[in-house]
């Protein structure tokens, strides 16, 4: 089974296309301990709470940087969080935005899939085909590769929206993704620019290839799940292979609600996001 099929299967198992970002900030975790312990217990409790039948979640996205900033204790926490997520039957997207020349990208792919044990990884397109190629090869083994396409941040405009022969760079990259991709190759498209999301999504639908989208930027970054769904539906895309990510909006929901029960607050935030996304059928 390729990664795109796996996404669809997971969506149907537990009707949801929500992805929970797992980006730890120890100052926001409501108990003490070294980074390894604090982070892994924090997410273990959330994963436990998410098991309930009244909450639908099947995909998580730990971002490497938030763990690595704490050194080895953080990296050990990342390993534990991934292992625990897989025990809870979650698809794990390692957000690491890797990319280098071919031989180095091959080593990065080993890191993501062999060492961390992720199901999918995010990669950067700036270095081109031989840079993303070694990741895409892993699609044959059922792994997923999300190539940065149109990111959710303001600075995205600087390079991604430069015009090349009447087309923005992000559309040129979309063309490359269609050309380079194997089943299981997807694209990162931010929720903060719904018009561009619709433009890119329409392009993929017309290409005839199934390109799963990873859509960050909902919640803290200002994107809205409603707008994302409008864009996806307007483009006629297959909703079951998409993932809409919220990170601190779920994990740290308890801080905004001034609740003590952070895992309960996370569950509520997931339920709310599922509701905003609406029925997928």
Provide the phi-psi class of 63: left if phi over 0, else alpha when psi is between -120 and 50, else beta. Answer: beta
By CB under 8 A, tell whether 83 contacts its own copies: no
By CB under 8 A, tell whether 221 contacts its own copies: yes
Q: Render 159-170 in DSSP notation, one character per residue.
A: HHT-EETTEEHH
By CB under 8 A, tell whether 26 contacts its own copies: no
Active-site annotation holder among 28, 79, 86, 97: 97
In the residue annotation, 97 being an active-site residue is answered as yes
By CB under 8 A, tell whether 46 contacts its own copies: no
Minimum distance from residue 22 beta carbon to its own copies (Å): 13
Q: How many CA atoms lie within 13 A of 141 on its CB side?
A: 13
Nearer CB in complex with its own copies: 169/244 = 169
Closest alpha carbon to 124 in 205, 169, 60, 187: 187
Q: Are strands 91-98 and 59-62 parallel, antiparallel or unpaired?
A: parallel
User: For its own copies, which stretch binds (CB under 8 A), given 47-55, 83-91, 93-101, 232-240?
Assistant: 93-101
Minimum distance from residue 201 beta carbon to its own copies (Å): 20
Neighbours of 137 (CB within 10 A): 15
Distance CA 146, CA 212 (A): 8
User: For its own copies, which stretch binds (CB under 8 A), given 37-45, 81-89, 99-107, 228-236?
Assistant: 99-107
Binding mask 149-168 for its own copies (x = CB under 8 A): --xxxxxxxxxx-xxxx---
User: For its own copies, which stretch binds (CB under 8 A), given 53-61, 80-88, 94-102, 138-146?
Assistant: 94-102
Interhelix angle 169-180/129-136, rounded to 10 degrees, is 40
Nearer CB in complex with its own copies: 222/226 = 222
Distance CA 140, CA 136 (A): 8
**DSSP character for 278?**
-
Closest alpha carbon to 147 in 123, 168, 130, 163: 123
By CB under 8 A, tell whether 255 contacts its own copies: no
**DSSP character for 127?**
T
Minimum distance from residue 243 beta carbon to its own copies (Å): 17
By CB under 8 A, tell whether 205 contacts its own copies: no
Collapsing DSSP to helix, strand or coil, 2 comes out as coil
Provide the phi-psi class of 146: left if phi over 0, else alpha when psi is between -120 and 50, else beta. Answer: beta
Minimum distance from residue 256 beta carbon to its own copies (Å): 17
Binding mask 259-278 for its own copies (x = CB under 8 A): --------------------
- Residues annotated as part of the active site: 97
Residues that bind its own copies (CB under 8 A): 23, 63, 65-66, 68-72, 75-76, 79, 95, 97-102, 104-105, 107-108, 110-111, 114-115, 124-133, 148, 151-160, 162-165, 169, 172-173, 176, 221
């Amino acid at each position: 089974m390729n990664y795109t099929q796996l996404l669809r299967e997971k969506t149907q198992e537990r009707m949801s296309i929500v992805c929970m970002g797992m980006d730890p900030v120890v100052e926001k975790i409501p108990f003490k301990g070294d980074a390894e312990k604090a982070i892994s217990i924090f997410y273990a409790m959330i994963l436990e709470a998410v098991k309930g039948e009244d909450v639908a979640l099947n995909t998580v996205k730990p971002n490497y940087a938030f763990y690595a900033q704490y050194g080895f204790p953080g990296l050990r926490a990342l390993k534990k969080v991934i292992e625990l997520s897989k025990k809870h039957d979650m698809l794990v997207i390692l957000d690491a935005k890797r990319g280098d020349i071919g031989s180095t990208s091959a080593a990065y792919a080993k890191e993501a899939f062999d060492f961390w044990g992720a199901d999918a990884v995010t990669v950067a397109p700036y270095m081109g085909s031989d840079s993303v190629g070694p990741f895409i090869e892993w699609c044959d083994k059922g792994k997923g590769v999300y190539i940065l396409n149109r990111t959710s941040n303001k600075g995205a405009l600087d390079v991604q929206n430069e015009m090349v022969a009447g087309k923005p760079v992000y559309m040129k990259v979309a063309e490359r993704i269609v050309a380079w991709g194997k089943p299981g190759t997807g694209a990162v498209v931010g929720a903060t620019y719904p018009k561009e999301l619709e433009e890119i999504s329409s392009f993929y639908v017309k290409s005839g290839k199934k390109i799963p989208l990873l859509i960050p930027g909902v919640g803290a970054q200002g994107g809205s799940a409603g707008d994302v769904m409008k864009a996806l539906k307007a483009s006629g895309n297959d909703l079951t292979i998409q993932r809409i990510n919220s990170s601190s909006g779920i994990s740290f929901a308890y801080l905004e609600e001034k609740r003590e029960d952070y895992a309960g607050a996370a569950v509520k935030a997931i339920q709310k996001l599922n509701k905003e996304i609406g029925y997928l059928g």
